[in-house]
């Protein structure tokens, strides 16, 4: 029953997107907030991430995009006086904050209750010792472990637990010094080494369960003690690879009912004992050779896995968890998918789901690709099919990594021995390596021995290889196509193997009527009629009966696929808002997307959801059946834009800006024509295909030059070259992937970067505001600190900006969104880039200006004019607030990645600082990004020659804040001469103690290290930057960021204001 | 080899033959369990029926003989979307394909099981024929007539064991009170016996045609009526015997068919459900406490609550999805009967506690 005492609830989000904490919490939070408001509960929201949907005024009554700190949360509670906090929706960040507030007594003092799962429960699940005690109490096994401080104790514990044993030294870099010991001798050696390396001389001795099956259960419990299992999942990769980086299949495939029920019963006993109220994730290691198992972890909250489970089954976990928190029992909550049954049941699947991680090694080519217990994926894709082979093939092509099957990587340079090593070492390409090994004749058993992957999965991969072989050798008859399509071989791969064209395969199967049909995800394996149209494709079956003609106009909204660096949650925000706006306009909305973490793939976002890869073939399947009146591509990032020509070719009208015009913005020659006509300048540049051409162009333009491929997002492959050898290196990198379009070589101009998002209705434009980047040109806009409104440009420059924006929007016949980036060199304005589509900055600008940009753009696309919608045209008045978007990085999680900023984007997320005062806004932004300084008052400064002049005042200000500055020779001399007190330290290649020892001494706050441009130079300081990041030091690689940081620290005591974004509408 | 499933309404599904090559006519029912196919295949309650598994990948973990719920396979045919040819599990000793052949059970794979399930859901359970022969024209019509005529009969008689047999309490459990339970085998799943043995009870299994007097004479501490196949009302003689058991003061616990027969014995009626409940995800509410348990179910008939005399029994459990009766508590009696399967296998063990309750019922009697 509804607890009527709950009237106002504070929901805490998870903050910026980082590896391990992505869009899944926006999805869960949004769903939960909607569920709360449905019951008349007032929702107060705190999340520092402005790109989220949960921070919309449509979702919560009061929205605070403020840093996730205790102080801020306390101030919000004092101001808003909520009676409750729902702590389980904001990932670990939200949970930790709620716990800290509870433990300090603040909540009791202010009469605020934690609803849903209690503090006691959270403690028992999260605290290592309490958790172990709880598990012991109910006889649930956990992997035995003990902390030791000397070899003798270590050996004793190892003998008690039994070999093999895992040894984990505490506080060493990336687990250095640890390992698996098979016997006492190994154990002794590793212990001695580990104890020496550990700063606290501590090693954890733990039972080795690597290689066991990793199984997860998503379970729920209500206040009456009713318990259910929503979904079981099996990791293809055994224990040892983080589940976020594993290929995961749902439901479990290789467990018999006995094993399945054993773990299910265990999971339910655990949540019962813990007293969970809501959703919970329980992870197990299961011995593949017995009934023995261990509980690895319990997460008493929604998680990445719960998002996956929700999408895999159709069961809305976050929604149900929110209702439980309000006092309802499971049997009182309707199952929204069937509309008939209740939330108190267990979903049954009649399909197979495969999740694959989206790993960031296309961005960090030189980073360590090894997968381990530290998650590295930025996002994920999910695919649904009737068989595992089909789901895997669909998942692979959903990744958008230029792979469409198991043949995508070239192993010709790897010999059999090398291949064997590659297989034993889990990396991002493991399944492709396995496929190659099997092609070379390695047996499934042998691969199982090397990888511990269950043979069931390996043999499934072998089925795909068998089909590959047949497609290469046999005539393409009806049966063969049927079987290939059943396994979801894309036409393109069939065509390649057959030596014909993709179109020929398509036509052939059209003629044979071998086409994709669509099936419903209904939570109940067809036992009950379902109401929610959530579909996946399948071959060789009947189409599910569903309404294809509602009489409404239909619009196809293409989503943005997996979250990756350069294309994040912002594009899901745009897709979802566009969908809502189309609904308001009376359209039937159809979303295609493959990302299980997002709001766009929630069951009630669009009228219909197709959970499918975003490739031409898969989209065509949907177009063939739905015959939409139009498609909108400008909100789904590059993923959607890439499909526009194809859609036009199929006769689907692209709503909004014409694809021809979108292309004109990307095509260098056509774009130059437009610039000529409009009299707009851009940095001089050339288009080239080869390294020779590039060198010639670079020398004509004069170094430094920017080198980049066309048609990319997030500056992928973009580099600043200062020499011919740089040019050659970069061109070769770009050409590793076949380029359909030329490479661009531009003169690099250093100036202030400005950015504008605008809406154009064909006649008038609306500009919500101008953004200015703190970092000068050369750093990708997504990695720059962005300030709204631009504060350093002259009125003249502003006028030019507005004039250029209007001209470009008109010249490109923009209907809807346009994003333009400029360089201002004093009053001279150059154009860098035009994107006739929605951009990364749209969500944040929408929120701080109160202008619903995506909705307006969508309505303009539907034929309305800006004036008609009640908006003034031109640049809108400033909102009266400074809003600063701060990039957030996940460098510490990707070993070997270079963290220095440049033209290629590297940040994974963002947070916001907002205030009427610029300095306060800046400090909030840094705080939101986790920069909580000062701590030790020690810092290192080592800058390139060009920055030496600029660093002096900055260093002086740090000194005034009380910082001890350490520098290597060059910087030291400059600072010393300028009268800044400073300690000289040796370079890393010099003898110890040197700068590295300083970093590893764990008492540094900041490293300012600006590397010189160029391939060779950026390698300098790499070790320092890596080690600093991995030990939790804040590393700054651009001089402008350093200045912003010192400004922020100077103003750190002034934080006082709170801005309710929901009140900012105009 | 091609195989065809012909439904009585003329719908034909073409697939590939698995298991024995043999023509059968049967009642077609679907089961939504995602694991536990061997338990389903060896559940005697499927006598006279052919089972469609809604989960498309069947056979993944092979055949683990320990998981058999009886001495053999009882269903008429096995219908799946994809039969795994590559079983993988440490306990696996065989494949479905071999097992079907060994027990001369035909099957079909490669058909659209979801379409079939939806059809059965919408039109209701119906008869069908599994055949390797392509019927056409007049022959097809004749075949349809034969299919329509089919009726599950004599099912309990087929499913029950024929002799009285003692299953002693598990060695490791101390049977301090030397309690013994008489189990009337109407087609019992092994895990009912095991669940009792594991709780320290000796179990004497009686064939379905056992006389009440013989059971009572043995002086059992409790009587268990098992699950079983077919139309409950067909078991006229057994119902009479059960009435005699009802009239004693011996604690009785009944599952599924046993539950239905006890209801019939005490004057209530049963009816056929449109497509039954078969799977491991059915929510059942304990009417008294409000607690909901996820249960394993396998039944095509249900007790009509409107026909239960409120002075004889009250509803103890009901289905959360469709409100059908899931259990009765008999007034002034030590009798509890449930429609679902606390012995699970396959399915959730959440209602296993009912066996403990049964023991409590026996203790109360002795106290």
CB pair distance less than 8 Å for B56 and A528? no
Contact assessment for residue A277 and residue A221, using Cβ atoms and an 8 Å cutoff: yes
Q: What angle do CA B114, B116, B117 make, to 5 degrees?
A: 65
**Beta bridge mates, A567:** A564
> Is B343 a known active-site residue?
yes
Rounded to whole angstroms, the maximal C-alpha distance in chain A is 83
Q: What chain A residue is nearest to B63 in terms of C-alpha separation? A: A256
CB pair distance less than 8 Å for B57 and A226? no
Cis upstream peptide for B346 (omega within 30°): yes
CA distances from A1051 to A788, A790, A934, A1047, B354 (A): 19, 20, 12, 6, 67
Report how far Cα B100 is from the mean position of its chain's Cα atoms: 19
CA nearest B317: which of B343, B341, B347? B341
Structural tokens at position A782: 């997504």
User: CB-based contact (8 Å) between A529 and chain B?
Assistant: yes
User: CB-based contact (8 Å) between A1035 and chain B?
Assistant: no
Topology of the domain covering A357-514: Carbamoyl Phosphate Synthetase; Chain A, domain 4 (1.10.1030)
Structural tokens at position B358: 């049964």
User: CB-based contact (8 Å) between A542 and chain B?
Assistant: yes
User: CB-based contact (8 Å) between B300 and chain A?
Assistant: no
Task: Determine the distance in angstroms separating the CA of A444 from the nearest CA of chain B, rounded to an integer.
Answer: 11
User: CB-based contact (8 Å) between A255 and chain B?
Assistant: yes
Task: Give strand ranges (E) for A272-372.
Answer: 278-286, 293-299, 352-358
Cite the residue boundaries of each domain of chain A with CATH code 3.40.50.1380: 932-1053
Chains A and B: how many Cβ contacts under 8 Å? 156
CA nearest A851: which of A755, A917, A769? A769
pLDDT of residue A601: 96
CB-nearest partner of B115 from A224, A252, A541: A541
Structural tokens at position A977: 């001469």
- Name the residue with tokens 């506080």: A171
Q: How many residues does chain A have?
A: 1066
Low-confidence ranges of chain A (pLDDT < 50): none
Contact assessment for residue B264 and residue B277, using Cβ atoms and an 8 Å cutoff: no
User: CB-based contact (8 Å) between B348 and chain A?
Assistant: yes
Instruction: Give dist(CA B1, CA B16) in Å, integer.
Output: 6
Question: Chain B residues with CB inside 8 Å of A455's CB?
Answer: 86, 88
State the pairing for strand pair A145-148/A84-86. unpaired
User: CB-based contact (8 Å) between A541 and chain B?
Assistant: yes
In the set B109, B256, B259, B299, the catalytic residue is B256
pLDDT of residue A126: 83
CB pair distance less than 8 Å for A289 and B86? no
Structural tokens at position B306: 């409107």
Structural tokens at position A471: 């497609």
Cβ under 8 Å to A: B residues 230-259: none
Q: Which residues does A299 contact at the CB level (< 8 Å), separation at least 6?
A: A125, A280, A281, A282, A283, A305
CA nearest A443: which of A428, A461, A427? A461
Cite the residue boundaries of each domain of chain A with CATH code 3.30.1490.20: 145-207, 686-738
The pLDDT tens digits of the residues spanning B111-159 come to 999 999 999 999 999 999 999 999 999 999 999 999 999 999 999 999 9
pLDDT of residue A1054: 67
CA nearest B337: which of B256, B280, B269? B256
User: CB-based contact (8 Å) between A290 and chain B?
Assistant: yes
- Name the residue with tokens 């034969």: B146
pLDDT tens for chain B, 367 residues long, are: 999 999 999 999 999 999 999 999 999 999 999 999 999 999 999 999 999 999 999 999 999 999 999 999 999 999 999 999 888 999 999 999 999 999 999 999 999 999 999 999 999 999 999 999 999 999 999 999 999 999 999 999 999 999 999 999 987 766 566 799 999 999 999 999 999 999 999 999 999 999 999 999 999 999 999 999 999 999 999 999 999 999 999 999 999 999 999 999 999 999 999 999 999 999 999 999 999 999 999 999 999 999 999 999 999 999 999 999 999 999 999 999 999 999 999 999 999 999 999 999 998 776 6
Q: Which residues does B131 contact at the CB level (< 8 Å), separation at least 6?
A: B3, B4, B6, B23, B24, B143
Q: Domains (ranges, CATH) in chain B? A: 2-152 (3.50.30.20), 157-366 (3.40.50.880)
Q: What chain B residue is nearest to A482 in terms of C-alpha separation? A: B110
Task: Give strand ranges (E) for B228-347.
Answer: 252-255, 269-286, 292-304, 313-319, 325-330, 335-338
Q: What chain A residue is nearest to B37 in terms of C-alpha separation? A: A257
Instruction: Give dist(CA A579, CA B22) in Å, integer.
Output: 54
Task: Determine the distance in angstroms separating the CA of B218 from the nearest CA of chain A, rounded to an integer.
Answer: 34
Instruction: Give dist(CA B222, CA A931) in Å, integer.
Output: 70
> Is B341 a known active-site residue?
yes
Structural tokens at position A133: 């005690």
CATH number, domain A686-738, options 3.40.50.720, 3.40.50.1220, 3.30.1490.20, 2.10.10.90: 3.30.1490.20
- The correct answer on CATH 3.30.1490.20 for the domain covering A145-207 is yes
pLDDT of residue A998: 85
CA distances from A261 to A305, A661, B225 (A): 20, 58, 25
CB pair distance less than 8 Å for A254 and B279? no
Instruction: Give dist(CA A424, CA A447) in Å, integer.
Output: 9
User: CB-based contact (8 Å) between B345 and chain A?
Assistant: yes
Structural tokens at position B156: 């309990």
CB pair distance less than 8 Å for A386 and B290? no
Contact assessment for residue A125 and residue A299, using Cβ atoms and an 8 Å cutoff: yes
Structural tokens at position B260: 């239905």
Topology of the domain covering A932-1053: Rossmann fold (3.40.50)
Q: Which residues in B301-338 are b (16+ Cβ under 10 Å) and which e?
A: bbbebeebeeebbebbbbbbbeebbbbbbbeebbbbbb
- Name the residue with tokens 């958790």: A131
SS3 state of residue B298: strand
User: CB-based contact (8 Å) between B113 and chain A?
Assistant: yes
* Residue of A249, A257, A345, A454 best to disrupt the B interface, most CBs of B under 10 A: A257
State the pairing for strand pair B106-109/A203-207. unpaired
Task: Determine the distance in angstroms separating the CA of A724 from the nearest CA of chain B, rounded to an integer.
Answer: 56
CB pair distance less than 8 Å for A387 and B54? no
User: CB-based contact (8 Å) between B36 and chain A?
Assistant: yes
User: CB-based contact (8 Å) between B296 and chain A?
Assistant: no
Query: How far separated are the first and last CA of chain B, in Å rounded?
Result: 64
Contact assessment for residue A45 and residue A11, using Cβ atoms and an 8 Å cutoff: yes
Q: Is A674 left (phi over 0), alpha (psi -120 to 50) or beta?
A: alpha
Structural tokens at position A820: 């333009």
Contact assessment for residue A565 and residue A905, using Cβ atoms and an 8 Å cutoff: yes
Task: Determine the distance in angstroms separating the CA of B350 from the nearest CA of chain A, rounded to an integer.
Answer: 8
Q: Which residues does A450 contact at the CB level (< 8 Å), separation at least 6?
A: A420, A423, A424
Q: What chain A residue is nearest to B292 in terms of C-alpha separation? A: A226
User: CB-based contact (8 Å) between A343 and chain B?
Assistant: no
Instruction: Give dist(CA A954, CA A967) in Å, integer.
Output: 14
Task: Determine the distance in angstroms separating the CA of A12 from the nearest CA of chain B, rounded to an integer.
Answer: 31
Cite the residue boundaries of each domain of chain A with CATH code 3.40.50.20: 8-126, 547-654
Task: Determine the distance in angstroms separating the CA of A557 from the nearest CA of chain B, rounded to an integer.
Answer: 28
pLDDT of residue B176: 63
Contact assessment for residue A727 and residue A694, using Cβ atoms and an 8 Å cutoff: yes
CB-nearest partner of A257 from B36, B292, B320: B36
CB-nearest partner of B55 from A330, A349, A388: A349
Topology of the domain covering A547-654: Rossmann fold (3.40.50)
Task: Determine the distance in angstroms separating the CA of A135 from the nearest CA of chain B, rounded to an integer.
Answer: 19
CB atoms within 10 A of CB A898: 21
pLDDT of residue A532: 83
Cis upstream peptide for A164 (omega within 30°): yes
Task: Determine the distance in angstroms separating the CA of B365 from the nearest CA of chain A, rounded to an integer.
Answer: 30
Structural tokens at position A1032: 């939790």
CB-nearest partner of A456 from B64, B86, B115: B86
Question: In CATH, what class is A8-126?
Answer: alpha beta
CB pair distance less than 8 Å for A224 and B290? yes
Instruction: Give dist(CA A681, CA A348) in Å, integer.
Output: 60
SS3 state of residue A642: coil
User: CB-based contact (8 Å) between B279 and chain A?
Assistant: yes
- pTM confidence score: 0.95
Task: Determine the distance in angstroms separating the CA of B220 from the nearest CA of chain A, rounded to an integer.
Answer: 31
Question: Chain B residues with CB inside 8 Å of A288's CB?
Answer: 90
User: CB-based contact (8 Å) between B347 and chain A?
Assistant: yes
CA nearest A215: which of A240, A248, A166, A241? A248
The pLDDT tens digits of the residues spanning A113-129 come to 999 988 999 989 888 78
Cis upstream peptide for A929 (omega within 30°): no
CB-nearest partner of A226 from B36, B55, B291: B291
Q: What chain A residue is nearest to B60 in terms of C-alpha separation? A: A254
Structural tokens at position A402: 């230029």
Cis upstream peptide for A537 (omega within 30°): no
CB pair distance less than 8 Å for A540 and B112? yes
Rounded to whole angstroms, the maximal C-alpha distance in chain B is 70
User: CB-based contact (8 Å) between A528 and chain B?
Assistant: yes
Task: Give strand ranges (E) for A133-210.
Answer: 145-148, 165-169, 179-181, 203-207
Q: DSSP secondary-structure letter at A299? A: E
* Residue of A527, A535, A538 best to disrupt the B interface, most CBs of B under 10 A: A527
State the pairing for strand pair A588-593/A608-611. parallel
CB-nearest partner of B291 from A225, A341, A346: A225
CA distances from B37 to A320, B59, B110, B346 (A): 31, 8, 17, 8
C-alpha count within 13 angstroms, C-beta hemisphere, residue B361: 26
């Amino acid at each position: 029953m509804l607890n009527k005492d709950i009237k106002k609830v504070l929901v805490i989000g998870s903050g910026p997107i980082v590896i391990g904490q992505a869009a899944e919490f926006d999805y869960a939070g949004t769903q939960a907030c909607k569920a709360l408001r449905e019951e008349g509960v007032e929702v107060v929201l705190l999340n520092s991430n402005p790109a989220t949907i949960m921070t919309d005024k449509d979702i919560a009554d009061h929205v605070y995009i403020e840093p996730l700190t205790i102080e801020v949360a306390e101030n919000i509670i004092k101001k808003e006086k909520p009676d409750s906090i729902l702590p389980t929706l904001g990932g670990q960040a939200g949970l930790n904050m709620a716990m800290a507030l509870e433990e300090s007594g603040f909540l009791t003092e202010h009469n605020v209750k934690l609803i849903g799962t209690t503090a006691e429960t959270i403690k028992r699940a999260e605290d290592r010792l309490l958790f172990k005690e709880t598990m012991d109490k109910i006889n649930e096994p956990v992997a035995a472990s003990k902390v030791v401080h000397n070899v003798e104790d270590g050996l004793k514990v190892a003998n008690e637990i039994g070999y093999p044993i895992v040894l984990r030294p505490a506080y060493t870099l990336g687990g250095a010094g640890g390992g698996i010991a098979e016997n006492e001798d190994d154990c002794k050696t590793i212990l001695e080494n580990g104890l020496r390396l550990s700063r606290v001389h501590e090693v954890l001795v733990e039972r080795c369960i690597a290689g066991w099956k990793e199984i997860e259960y998503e379970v729920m419990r209500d206040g009456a003690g009713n318990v259910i299992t929503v979904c079981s999942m099996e990791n293809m990769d055994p224990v040892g690879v983080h589940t976020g980086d594993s290929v995961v299949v749902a439901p479990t495939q290789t467990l018999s009912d006995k094993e399945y029920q054993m773990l299910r019963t265990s999971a339910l006993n655990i949540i019962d004992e813990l007293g969970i109220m809501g959703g919970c994730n329980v992870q197990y290691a299961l011995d593949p050779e017995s009934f023995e198992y261990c509980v690895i972890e319990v997460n008493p909250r929604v998680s990445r896995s719960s998002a996956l489970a929700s999408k895999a089954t159709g069961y809305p976990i976050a929604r149900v968890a929110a209702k439980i928190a309000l006092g309802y029992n499971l049997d009182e909550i309707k199952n929204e998918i069937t509309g008939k049954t209740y939330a108190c049941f267990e979903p049954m699947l009649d399909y197979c789901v495969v999740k694959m991680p989206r790993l960031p090694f296309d961005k960090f080519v030189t980073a360590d690709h090894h997968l381990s217990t530290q998650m590295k994926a930025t996002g994920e894709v999910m695919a649904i099919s009737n068989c595992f082979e089909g789901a895997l093939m669909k998942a692979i092509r959903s990744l958008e990594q230029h792979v469409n099957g198991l043949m995508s990587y070239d192993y010709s340079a790897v010999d059999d021995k090398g291949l064997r090593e590659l297989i034993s070492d889990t990396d991002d390409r493991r399944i492709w390596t396995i496929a190659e090994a099997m092609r070379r004749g390695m047996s499934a058993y042998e691969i199982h021995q090397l990888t511990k992957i269950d043979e069931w999965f390996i043999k499934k991969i072998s089925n795909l290889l068998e089909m590959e072989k047949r497609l290469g050798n046999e005539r393409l008859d009806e049966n063969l196509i049927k079987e290939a399509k059943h396994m979801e071989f894309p036409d393109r791969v069939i065509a390649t193997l057959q030596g014909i064209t993709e179109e020929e395969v398509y036509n052939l199967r059209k003629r044979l009527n071998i086409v994709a049909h669509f099936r419903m995800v209904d939570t109940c394996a067809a036992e009950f009629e379902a109401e929610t149209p959530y579909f996946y494709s399948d071959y060789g079956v009947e189409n599910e009966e569903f309404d294809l003609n509602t009489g409404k106009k239909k619009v196809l909204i293409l989503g943005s696929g997996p979250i990756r660096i350069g294309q994040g949650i912002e594009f899901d925000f745009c897709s979802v808002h566009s969908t809502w706006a189309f609904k308001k306009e009376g359209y039937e909305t159809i979303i295609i997307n493959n990302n299980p973490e997002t709001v766009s793939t929630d069951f009630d976002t669009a009228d219909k959801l197709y959970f499918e890869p975003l490739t031409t073939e898969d989209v065509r399947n949907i177009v063939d059946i739905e015959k939409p009146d139009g498609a909108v591509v400008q909100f789904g990032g590059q993923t959607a834009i890439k499909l526009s020509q194809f859609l036009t070719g199929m006769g689907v009208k692209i709503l909004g800006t014409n694809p021809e015009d979108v292309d004109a913005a990307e095509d260098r020659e056509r774009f130059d024509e437009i610039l000529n006509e409009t009299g707009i300048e851009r940095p001089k540049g050339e288009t080239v295909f080869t390294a020779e051409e590039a060198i010639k162009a670079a020398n004509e333009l004069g170094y430094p030059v920017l080198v980049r491929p066309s048609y990319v997002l997030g500056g992928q492959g973009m580099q600043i070259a200062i020499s011919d050898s740089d040019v050659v290196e970069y061109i070769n990198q770009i050409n590793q992937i076949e380029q359909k379009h030329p490479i661009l070589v531009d003169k690099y101009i250093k100036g202030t970067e400005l950015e504008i998002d605008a809406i154009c209705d064909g006649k008038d434009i609306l500009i919500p505001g101008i953004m200015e980047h703190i970092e000068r040109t050369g750093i990708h806009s997504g990695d720059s600190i962005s300030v709204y409104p631009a504060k350093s440009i002259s009125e003249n420059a502003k006028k030019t900006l507005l004039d250029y924006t209007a001209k470009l929007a008109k010249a490109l016949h923009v209907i809807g969104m346009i994003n333009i980036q400029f360089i201002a060199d004093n009053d001279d304005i150059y154009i860098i880039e035009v994107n006739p589509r929605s951009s990364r900055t749209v969500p944040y600008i929408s929120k701080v200006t109160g202008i619903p940009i995506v909705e307006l753009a969508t309505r303009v696309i539907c034929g309305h004019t800006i004036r008609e919608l009640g908006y003034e045209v031109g640049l809108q008045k400033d909102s009266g607030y400074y809003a600063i978007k701060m990039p957030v990085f996940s460098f510490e999680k990707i070993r070997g990645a270079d963290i220095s900023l440049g033209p290629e984007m590297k940040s994974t997320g963002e947070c916001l600082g907002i205030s009427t005062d610029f300095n306060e806004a800046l400090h909030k932004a840094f705080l939101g990004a986790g920069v909580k300084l000062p701590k030790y008052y020690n810092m290192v400064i080592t800058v390139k020659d060009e920055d030496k002049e600029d660093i002096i005042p900055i260093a002086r200000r740090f000194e005034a804040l009380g910082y001890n500055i350490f520098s290597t020779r060059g910087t030291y001399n400059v600072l010393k001469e300028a009268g800044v007190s400073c300690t000289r330290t040796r370079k890393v290649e010099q003898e110890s103690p040197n700068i590295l020892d300083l970093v590893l001494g764990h008492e540094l706050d900041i490293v300012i290290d600006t590397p010189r441009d160029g391939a060779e130079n950026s390698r300098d300081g790499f070790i320092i930057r890596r080690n600093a990041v991995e030990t939790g030091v804040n590393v700054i690689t651009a001089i402008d960021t350093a200045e912003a940081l010192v400004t922020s620290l100077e103003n750190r005591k002034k934080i006082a204001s709170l801005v309710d974004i929901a009140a900012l509408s105009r | 080899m091609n195989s065809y499933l012909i439904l009585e309404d003329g719908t034909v599904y073409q697939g590939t033959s698995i298991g024995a090559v043999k023509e059968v006519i049967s009642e077609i029912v679907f089961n939504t369990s995602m694991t536990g196919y061997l338990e389903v295949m060896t559940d005697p309650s499927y006598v006279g029926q052919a089972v469609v598994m809604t989960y498309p990948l069947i056979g993944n973990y092979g055949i683990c003989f320990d998981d058999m719920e009886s001495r053999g396979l009882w269903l008429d045919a096995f219908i799946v979307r994809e039969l795994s040819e590559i079983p993988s599990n440490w306990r696996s000793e065989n494949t479905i394909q071999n097992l079907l052949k060994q027990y001369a059970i035909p099957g079909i794979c490669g058909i659209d099981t979801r379409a079939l399930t939806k059809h059965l859901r919408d039109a209701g359970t119906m008869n069908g024929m599994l055949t390797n022969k392509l019927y056409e024209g007049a022959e097809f019509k004749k075949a349809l007539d034969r299919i329509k005529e089919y009726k599950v009969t004599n099912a309990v008689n087929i499913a029950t064991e024929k002799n009285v047999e003692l299953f002693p309490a598990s060695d490791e459990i101390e049977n301090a009170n030397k309690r013994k339970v008489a189990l009337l085998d109407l087609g019992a799943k092994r895990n009912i016996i095991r669940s009792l043995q594991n709780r320290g009870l000796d179990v004497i299994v009686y064939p379905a045609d056992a006389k009440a007097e013989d059971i009572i004479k043995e002086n059992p501490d409790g009587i268990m009526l098992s699950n079983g196949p077919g139309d409950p009302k067909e078991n006229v003689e057994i119902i009479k015997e059960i009435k005699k058991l009802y009239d004693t003061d011996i604690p009785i616990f009944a599952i599924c068919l046993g539950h239905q027969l006890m209801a019939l014995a005490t004057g209530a009626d049963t009816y056929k459900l449109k497509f039954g409940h078969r799977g491991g995800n059915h929510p059942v509410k304990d009417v008294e406490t409000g607690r909901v348990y996820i249960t394993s179910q396998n039944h095509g008939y249900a007790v009509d609550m409107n026909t239960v005399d409120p002075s004889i029994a009250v509803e103890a459990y009901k289905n959360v999805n469709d409100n059908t009766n899931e259990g009765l508590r008999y007034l002034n009696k030590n009798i509890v009967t449930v429609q679902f399967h606390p012995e699970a296998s396959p399915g959730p063990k959440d209602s296993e506690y009912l066996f403990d309750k049964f023991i409590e019922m026996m203790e109360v009697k002795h106290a």
